[in-house]
Amino acid sequence: MLLDMILNKYPAQEDSLIEILLEFQDAKSSHFISEAEVKQIASYLQISEAKVCSVISFYTFFRTEQKGQHIIQVCRGVPCHVTADINIVKIIEKELGIKVDETTENKKFTLEYTSCLGLCDKAPVMRIDDKIYTNLTENKIKAILAEYRVYN
């Protein structure tokens, strides 16, 4: 239903693919694109399923499986890596008890790497959903996560 509605908004041509994927993933409550949905999108645009998968797999922000309520993305850019005298990923991993690319048991958080977020002057940087957090320290990270645990 949701996908049908979104598909009908776009012309049935290959260039619409990324916009459809973005809008649909955002609108769907579980924020991922399933195999059946890939099939439907491919069929609507008259392109192969492999082509849709290829595009989804190229961009880190598209997902094909269910993730946590909040997606934590740690910048993997070189400046973020060298500026910090702390290892952000290790701190978050310890704090949440999961590794990169895993989701917490309560489905609250998923931890991922992302490519450069373009805020190298404020490194180290991470993003939680649409919100960017800069100049991170261990205490700051703990405070941010605590806030998400309580209020979100």
Interaction between residue 49 and another protein (CB under 8 A)? yes
Tell me how far the alpha carbon of residue 66 is from its chain's centroid. Answer: 11
Q: How far apart are CA 88 and CA 15, in angstroms?
A: 37
Q: How far apart are CA 1 and CA 44, in angstroms?
A: 14
Please, what is the minimum distance in Å from the beta carbon of residue 95 to another protein? 27
Which region, judged by CB under 8 A, interacts with another protein, from 9-17, 36-44, 89-97, 128-136?
Answer: 36-44
The residue from 16, 34, 134, 137 that contacts another protein (CB under 8 A) is 34
The residue from 54, 118, 129, 140 that contacts another protein (CB under 8 A) is 54
Q: DSSP class of residue 103?
A: B
CA distances from 52 to 5, 8, 37, 91, 147 (A): 19, 18, 10, 35, 37
Interaction between residue 40 and another protein (CB under 8 A)? yes
Q: Which residues bind another protein (CB under 8 A)?
A: 1-4, 34-40, 43, 47-54, 57-58, 64
